[in-house]
Structure 1
Amino acid sequence: MSLKAVFSKHTLHFRFEAGTSRGVLTEKDTYFIKIFDSENPKVFGLGECAPLKGLSFDDRPDFELQLLSICENFNTLELDVFPWNINIILEQVLDHAYPSVVFGFETALLDLINGGKRVVFNNAFTRSERALEINGLVWMGNKDFMLRQVREKLDSGYNCIKMKVGAIDFQKELEILDSIRNKYSQHEISLRVDANGAFSMNDVYEKLDKLATYQLHSIEQPIRQNQPELMAEVCKNTPLAVALDEELIGLPDYTDKYRLLKKIMPQYIILKPTLLGGFQQCREWIENANRLKIGWWITSALESNIGLNAIAQFTAEFNNPLPQGLGTGQLYHNNVPSPLEITSGRLHYKPQNDWDISKVGLF
């Protein structure tokens, strides 16, 4: 066996103007990784490298050139892959300065080992024996647009709604939360909010106090990352649960993960394999969180169905009852057709629905 890796760029187009704290998104570039044995190229694994602009550790203008260099180096090594050496390859061949690339290669290698059928983890989810409860994501926009999204999510059967706060008019965001709580109690609908670090040292407690009146499940990243002392103080004194998100980026070392969590002691952490460097990195975060009795859930980061599929299958390896952040598969009108399907706020894998990877562009 001599493994080869090639990649192809694909631009995903949103079905709508997706408002975020970092601006409005209409399209997103992603890179598909194909890994195969040069002696049997018809069997291959697929992965996805999808760095997020302005957020990913490997968001850089020369990303494509670096990815090409990584593939060329990989192709010179004449590697074999087995279940026991995947982590060795990830640690010694790939560079953790490129977490989305590590995630893409890890997914493709796992897919290849399992026969190249997009089954990265063979579990109850991929056998269609289990569905994953997910939160419904409400995108930023004017009040009417956001309320319409909320109604659509609730009508579709979601029991957990997540919305962004802190980037537009905070008072209007409170009004949206108020309108939801006037109709649905916390026992009927769980509400999560994500501040993306929008609050400052001067206003964080005032805003948390106001948000807490709506019986929220949690708030993600209330202040910007890399302020561990302030974040620890916020997590200690907060009136509602705090979940770390961006705070986790750029810490591949196991002991650094533990030190950060031990210092800050958040109520939750949110794991995004694309941003953190793949599944092994997420396992380390989970292990450390469990040691410290910190809750966690897993979230996709605007990947296509190739990446989302792998993340969902990984999520199903754990018996985590919390709603997961895996509802991004319906965002794009040129996504890769897949067995993934959302019904009543749950993500299903329907093996009878075929993959159509002709859109990937590697063939």
Structure 2
Amino acid sequence: MALKIQFKKHILQFKFEAGTSRGTLKTKTTYFIIIHDTQTGITGIGECGPLKGLSIDDRDDMEEILADFCTEFEQTSWPIEKEEALEIIAEKVPAELPAVRFGFETAFLDLINGGKRLLFENDFSLSKESIPINGLIWMGDKDFMSAQIEQKLEAGFDCLKMKIGAIDFEQECKLLNHIRKNYSSNEITLRVDANGAFKADEATERLKKLAAYDIHSIEQPIWPGQVEAMKVLCDRNIIPIALDEELIGVHGNENKKILLENIRPQFIILKPTLLGGFKETREWIHLAEALNIGWWITSALESNIGLNAIAQFTAQFNTNMLQGLGTGQLYHNNIPSPLIIEKGFLKYDEDASWNTGLIFNSN
């Protein structure tokens, strides 16, 4: 293959101020990786979108890094087999650059499969099946969060994930109580995501209060790195705990295994952009299943380019768990795609098409 590789910076604009325990998001910078085969005319597109304040490769020199890899990969001999391409990327891109790995993985898989944004062939990408997802409730004042809850319920979601830890904890409990007064756990599944907002010495009491609302699981109740404290919370099993940020920066199969064996969480949350792409995410899945730990996959605020790749990857696995893939409607200037959400399911509409013109016009 004779390749021309470049990247394009794109600043995604949120439709609202998206509140998290780490602050409020109004924009998100992402980079599209564009690989053009000058012999066949096929173009593959991927996405490198480190998450500010969370990704280990949230770096000021990202553009220089991407430029260097574009040059290096133009001079690399590439196979036509997907797994071989993933191996080359894993060898050349260090584990400390997970979003970069994911960006080149998605671009090369798209190129190898004909440049049609169909990276993995399965019933989802062929528009035969849809993926069940949770409805995400962003942090904000009580009225804003209440409005989101009503919107998601009216839209047909039967699983809500509420970010907590920003407003007063008692107010957040009142919102959960309001849901439970109107909907039982048989009607609506409730997940909460603390993003590490609880202090270790207060977490147990807060989990006990949350347990009154039949919570399915809580993501990352305390800040990562407190292994013993997290292990205690998981052992107590007041509410099933899902590790999220705890997994970021853990490299190598053995280190992943040690972490999971030490903490023994009920679930883990997998974000390919933050963990280093598909090859790394598969390792986490295999380890979790060997230890009887549940898992689901979540997007990390990518555009539809990255979200599409993650959804198609997710659809390869035999799981009935609701996934965290409902972020495609967050932005004013997302990439128009066949991805649609209907009644709590993510679908790939075979009658719709991609419009990638916005990518090539990005700065």
TM tier, smaller: over 0.9
Rounded to whole Å, the distance in 2 between the matches of 1:79 and 1:318 is 27
Rounded to whole Å, the distance in 2 between the matches of 1:190 and 1:83 is 37
Residues 323, 141 of structure 1: alpha-carbon distance in 2 compared, 3 angstrom cutoff: same
Q: Could you say which residue in structure 2 is the equivalent of 1:211? A: 210
Post-superposition offset of 1:298: 0.3
Contact preservation (8 Å) 2:242, 2:267: yes
Rounded to whole Å, the distance in 2 between the matches of 1:88 and 1:348 is 30
User: In the alignment, does 2:2 pair up with 1:6?
Assistant: no
Q: Compute the RMSD of aligned alpha carbons.
A: 1.2
**Counterparts of residues 68-83 of structure 1 (less than 5 Å):** 68-83=67-82
Q: Could you say which residue in structure 2 is the equivalent of 1:199? A: 198
Q: Could you say which residue in structure 2 is the equivalent of 1:314? A: 313
**Counterparts of residues 304-343 of structure 1 (less than 5 Å):** 304-343=303-342
> Which moved further from structure 2: 48-57 or 92-101?
92-101
Post-superposition offset of 1:19: 1.1
**Counterparts of residues 148-167 of structure 1 (less than 5 Å):** 148-167=147-166
Rounded to whole Å, the distance in 1 between the matches of 2:251 and 2:122 is 27
Rounded to whole Å, the distance in 1 between the matches of 2:267 and 2:19 is 25
Rounded to whole Å, the distance in 2 between the matches of 1:22 and 1:152 is 24
Post-superposition offset of 1:62: 1.1
Q: Could you say which residue in structure 2 is the equivalent of 1:21? A: 21
How many residues in Structure 1 have an aligned counterpart in Structure 2?
362
Q: Could you say which residue in structure 1 is the equivalent of 2:113? A: 114
Amino acid at match of 1:194: D
Post-superposition offset of 1:252: 2.5
Q: Could you say which residue in structure 1 is the equivalent of 2:59? A: 60
Rounded to whole Å, the distance in 2 between the matches of 1:89 and 1:3 is 16
Post-superposition offset of 1:38: 3.2
Rounded to whole Å, the distance in 2 between the matches of 1:5 and 1:255 is 34
Q: Could you say which residue in structure 2 is the equivalent of 1:129? A: 128
Contact preservation (8 Å) 2:78, 2:85: no
Residues 109, 311 of structure 1: alpha-carbon distance in 2 compared, 3 angstrom cutoff: same
Rounded to whole Å, the distance in 2 between the matches of 1:361 and 1:315 is 27
Rounded to whole Å, the distance in 2 between the matches of 1:84 and 1:223 is 36
1:51-78 Cα shifts (integer Å, max 9, x gaps): 0000001001111111111212222224
Amino acid at match of 1:204: A
SS at 1:85 equivalent? helix
User: In the alignment, does 2:296 pair up with 1:291?
Assistant: no
Post-superposition offset of 1:344: 0.4
Contact preservation (8 Å) 2:140, 2:166: no
Contact preservation (8 Å) 1:219, 1:240: yes
1:80-133 Cα shifts (integer Å, max 9, x gaps): 442341132122222221100101111111111111100010100011110000
Rounded to whole Å, the distance in 1 between the matches of 2:306 and 2:264 is 30
Amino acid at match of 1:299: T
Q: Could you say which residue in structure 2 is the equivalent of 1:36? A: 36
Amino acid at match of 1:37: D
1:258-307 Cα shifts (integer Å, max 9, x gaps): 11000000000000000001111110000000000000000001000000
Contact preservation (8 Å) 1:3, 1:80: no
SS at 2:36 equivalent? strand
Amino acid at match of 2:352: N
Query: TM-score with structure 1 length normalisation?
Result: 0.97
Identity of aligned residues (%): 55
Residues 161, 213 of structure 1: alpha-carbon distance in 2 compared, 3 angstrom cutoff: same
SS at 1:232 equivalent? helix
Rounded to whole Å, the distance in 2 between the matches of 1:96 and 1:84 is 17
**Counterparts of residues 232-271 of structure 1 (less than 5 Å):** 232-271=231-270
User: In the alignment, does 2:45 pair up with 1:46?
Assistant: yes
Contact preservation (8 Å) 1:5, 1:75: yes
SS at 1:16 equivalent? strand
Rounded to whole Å, the distance in 2 between the matches of 1:111 and 1:262 is 35
SS at 1:202 equivalent? helix
Residues 3, 78 of structure 1: alpha-carbon distance in 2 compared, 3 angstrom cutoff: farther
Amino acid at match of 2:42: V
SS at 2:312 equivalent? helix
Rounded to whole Å, the distance in 2 between the matches of 1:244 and 1:49 is 23
1:179-237 Cα shifts (integer Å, max 9, x gaps): 00000000000000001111112101010000001000000000100111111111101
1:151-205 Cα shifts (integer Å, max 9, x gaps): 1000000010001112221010000000000000000000000011111121010
SS at 2:269 equivalent? strand
**Counterparts of residues 96-115 of structure 1 (less than 5 Å):** 96-115=95-114
Rounded to whole Å, the distance in 2 between the matches of 1:309 and 1:87 is 18
Rounded to whole Å, the distance in 2 between the matches of 1:163 and 1:262 is 28
Contact preservation (8 Å) 2:79, 2:85: no
SS at 1:217 equivalent? strand
1:284-336 Cα shifts (integer Å, max 9, x gaps): 00000000000000000100000000000011001211110000000001100
Amino acid at match of 2:346: L
Rounded to whole Å, the distance in 2 between the matches of 1:240 and 1:142 is 25
SS at 1:122 equivalent? coil
SS at 1:92 equivalent? helix
Amino acid at match of 2:268: I
